[in-house]
């Protein structure tokens, strides 16, 4: 055992015992092992930083560094993609020796904007029905920037990476608005805006490379004092068990795949349990599980038949060569139509009708086509000659599907649970489905599913366990609240829990009924309100139950309760938000305008959180 000198121990930020343990740990390790261990420690420190509130602290600069400017990377993220890209870019900028800070949009002080000299923004577009919205964490920043209080910015250099989904008509609308607004305020665009589809890295990676070069050109290398120990670089390595990611998913074994609706239900909803044993993967209530699906073999065969192409045709795209059937099954979207593919189909086949849909006056009809049709439908409706190389290049890369995690590791340990509704319908007598839900619903026990954890910082339990919770989760939107209740029970939280659940029928669609009733009996749920929309002549939804209990909901919120919504963004989320504002008018004495501002304040404060899709 190597003893550490007392003089050294006196200045260390840890106890003597822990310091001695660390010294003992490194004895006999070779260089690769030491580098791995250094990376592990750095990763642990990074996770603590990420979990800390208001994680907007600038990256520390070494003593003696003379910095006149720094790069600020601001991100707004609904599902975690923008955060992931921004963090990766910040790491590359820091590794290049440049001063940088990374800030989530809701932690950014807007008064600083007029002082900024170099700003990159990575922001997604969140769609609610036909409208586009900023991510919940970016609403305040977006409102400020597009409002009258935004300052002139003649000294600002900026670049914007916009994230979106080309299956929506207004693709990357929020990023485009911010890019144009910054330019209108006099800022200098040093990078052309890039619009990334759901295959984010295809556009984000080259944009980030350009962004790094611009940062080097504008900021120059950071000079660190060689004598300052704080300037020593620690390789940001991670231990193997923590390296599972979107790019390198973990193969999780299916333990349970159980239908949890009654025989009379018109839905097929599954409770799925996956093993994470030995993976080292950890998650928190509110996080999502990313799943890389595989297209159904029968759909791949249909597409090959309509294209009149051979399954074994070798196709090289980028740096990868695969048979065409493999591209279609594992690498390309077949169930989601996008505007870029419609444009490619119109051009290649000289289809005037499709070209007309791409004009501004055809936007409504285009939106309808994207909503009700899949790839096989348009290939049949507008026959076109495609080569194998051309179809692979034109189709959008397959993206992982995100599912709200329905379990707490405090209860299930090395497992993760999901609540999945099979998306399926018929068109012209032929079955259609959603790729992710079909893949998971068909996964047999013992099968392996490629997965990764997607953190959702905006959908977290309050740090104070005495805070009350109001949870609104109709249908499979109830999934994260199963995790919330499990975690609160494990923590011994003293705050009250109120769940609003809705579905068509009580007898067949009451998901996790036994668990919820037991939770009420045990006191883990203070209130359980249900809305079964088809069990009476007049349809009743969760927003109606909220209004019915509006006086008590208002009292809970005035007492500091946190309000959560999970589920359908197209209608439900908007209906619930309007009900919340209506409650503020009826029971808080607010005007409609003040009620709308109050709801926005809840969002900014983090007391109103949404996980909608």
Q: What would the pLDDT profile of 126-143 be if each residue is shown by its tens digit?
A: 765 567 789 888 989 999
Residue reference for tokens 């969140």: 126
Mean pLDDT of all residues in 424-428: 91
Q: What is the mean pLDDT of residues 443-458?
A: 95
| Helices 200-219 + 81-95 axis angle, to 10 | 30
Please tell me the predicted confidence (pLDDT) of residue 136: 87
Nearest Cα to 79, choosing from 125, 120, 128? 125
97-106, 487-496, 540-549: segment of lowest average pLDDT: 97-106
Q: Which residues contact 441 (CB under 8 A, 6 or more apart)?
A: 257, 268, 270, 420, 422
Place of tokens 């030491």: 34
Instruction: Name the pLDDT band for 548 (thresholds 50, 70, 90).
Output: very high
DSSP per residue, 228-263: -GGG--------GGG---SSS-EEEEEEEEEE-S-T
Answer yes or no: are the C-beta atoms of 568 and 579 closer than 8 Å.
no
Tokens for 603, please give them.
Answer: 């969002």
Three-class SS of residue 590? coil
Lowest mean pLDDT among 42-56, 192-206, 234-248: 42-56
Q: Under a CB-based contact definition with an 8 Å cutoff, are residues 396 and 340 in contact?
A: yes
Average pLDDT over residues 556-565: 98
The predicted pLDDT at position 613 comes to 83
pLDDT digits (tens, 9 = 90+) for 574-601: 999 999 999 999 999 999 999 999 999 9
Structure tokens at 512: 């996790």
pLDDT at 422: 97
Q: What is the pLDDT of residue 202?
A: 84
Q: How far is residue 245's CA from residue 222's CA, in Å, rounded to a whole number?
A: 31
Q: Residue 393, Cα to own-chain centre: how many angstroms?
A: 26
- Would you state the pLDDT for residue 11? 36
* Sign of the CA dihedral running 132, 133, 135, 141: positive
User: Which pLDDT does position 303 carry in this prediction?
Assistant: 98
pLDDT band at 18, cuts 50/70/90? Answer: low
pLDDT at residue 50 greater than cutoff 60: no
Q: How many CB atoms lie within 10 A of CB 509?
A: 24
Q: Specify whether the CB–CB gap between 478 and 512 falls below 8 A.
A: yes
Please state, as a whole number, how many other Cβ atoms lie within 10 Å of the Cβ of residue 103.
Answer: 22
For range 417-428, the mean pLDDT? 95
Q: What is the pLDDT of residue 20?
A: 55
Rounded to two decimals, the pTM is 0.78
Q: For 57-106, what is each residue's pLDDT tens digit?
A: 333 333 333 334 799 999 998 878 899 999 999 999 999 999 999 999 98
Residue with token string 């900024």: 116
Q: What is the pLDDT of residue 225?
A: 31
Q: What is the pLDDT of residue 380?
A: 97
pLDDT at 129: 53
Phi, psi of 406 (to 5 degrees): -105, 30
Rounded to the nearest angstrom, the gap between the alpha carbon of residue 343 and the centroid of all alpha carbons in its chain is 28
Residue 425 has pLDDT above 70, yes or no: yes
pLDDT reported for residue 223: 37
- Average pLDDT in the 327-353 region? 96
Q: Give the helix/strand (H/E) hosting 175.
A: helix 173-184
Tens digit of pLDDT for each residue in 190-230?
A: 999 999 988 888 899 999 999 999 999 988 754 333 233 33
**Which residue is it, tokens 């109120």?**
498
498-523 residue pLDDT tens:
999 999 999 999 999 999 999 999 99
Confidence of residue 17 (pLDDT cuts 50, 70, 90): low
């Amino acid at each position: 055992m190597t003893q550490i000198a007392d003089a050294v121990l006196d200045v260390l930020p840890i106890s003597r015992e822990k310091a001695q343990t660390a010294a003992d740990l490194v004895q006999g390790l070779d260089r690769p092992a030491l580098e791995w261990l250094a990376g592990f420690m750095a990763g642990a420190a990074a996770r603590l930083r990420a979990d800390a509130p208001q994680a907007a602290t600038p990256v520390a600069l070494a003593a003696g560094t003379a910095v006149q400017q720094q790069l600020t990377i601001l991100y707004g993220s609904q599902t975690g993609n923008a955060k992931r890209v921004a963090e990766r870019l910040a790491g590359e900028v820091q590794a290049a020796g440049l001063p940088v800070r990374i800030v989530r949009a809701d932690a950014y002080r807007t008064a600083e904007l007029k002082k900024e000299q170099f700003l990159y923004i990575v922001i997604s577009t969140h769609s609610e029905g036909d409208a586009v919205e900023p991510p919940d964490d970016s609403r305040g920043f977006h409102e400020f920037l597009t409002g009258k209080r935004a300052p002139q910015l003649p000294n600002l250099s900026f670049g914007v990476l916009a994230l979106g989904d080309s299956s929506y008509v207004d693709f990357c609308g929020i990023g485009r608005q911010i890019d144009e607004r910054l330019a209108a305020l006099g800022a200098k665009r040093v990078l052309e805006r890039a619009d990334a589809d759901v295959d984010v890295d295809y556009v984000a990676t080259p944009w980030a490379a350009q962004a790094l070069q611009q940062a080097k050109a504008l900021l120059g290398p950071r000079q660190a004092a060689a004598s300052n120990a704080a300037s020593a670089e620690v390789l940001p390595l991670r231990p193997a068990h923590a390296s599972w990611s979107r790019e390198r998913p973990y193969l999780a074994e299916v333990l349970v795949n159980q239908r949890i609706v009654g025989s009379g239900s018109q839905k097929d909803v599954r409770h799925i349990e996956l093993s994470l044993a030995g993976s080292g993967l950890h998650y928190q209530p509110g996080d999502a599980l990313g799943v890389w699906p595989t297209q159904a073999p029968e759909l791949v065969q249909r597409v090959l038949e309509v294209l009149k192409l051979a399954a074994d045709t070798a196709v090289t795209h980028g740096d990868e060569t695969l048979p065409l059937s493999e591209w279609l099954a594992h690498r390309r979207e077949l169930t989601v139509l996008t505007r870029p593919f419609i444009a490619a189909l119109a051009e290649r086949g000289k289809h005037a009708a499709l070209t007309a849909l791409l004009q501004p006056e055809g936007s409504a009809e285009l939106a309808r086509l994207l909503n009700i049709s899949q790839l096989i439908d348009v290939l049949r409706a507008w026959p076109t000659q495609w080569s194998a190389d051309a179809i692979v290049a034109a189709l959008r890369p397959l993206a992982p599907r995100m599912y709200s995690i329905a379990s707490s590791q405090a209860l299930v340990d090395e497992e993760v649970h999901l609540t999945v509704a099979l998306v399926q319908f018929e068109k012209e007598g032929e079955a259609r489905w959603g790729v992710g839900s079909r893949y998971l619903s068909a996964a047999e026990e013992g099968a392996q599913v490629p997965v990764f954890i997607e953190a959702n910082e905006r959908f977290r339990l309050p740090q104070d366990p005495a805070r009350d919770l109001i949870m609104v989760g109709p249908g499979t939107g109830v999934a994260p609240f199963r995790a919330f209740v499990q975690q609160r029970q494990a923590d011994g939280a003293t705050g009250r829990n109120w769940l609003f659940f809705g579905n068509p029928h009580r007898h067949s669609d009451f998901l996790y009924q036994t668990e919820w009733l037991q939770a009420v009996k045990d006191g883990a749920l203070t209130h359980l309100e249900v809305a079964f929309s088809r069990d009476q002549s007049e349809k009743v939804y969760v927003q109606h139950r909220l209004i019915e209990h509006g006086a008590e909901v208002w009292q809970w919120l005035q007492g500091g309760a946190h309000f959560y919504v999970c589920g359908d963004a197209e209608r439900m989320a908007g209906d619930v938000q309007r009900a919340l504002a209506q409650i503020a008018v009826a029971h808080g004495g607010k005007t409609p305008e003040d009620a709308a501002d109050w709801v926005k304040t809840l969002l900014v404060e983090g007391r109103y959180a949404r996980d909608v899709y």
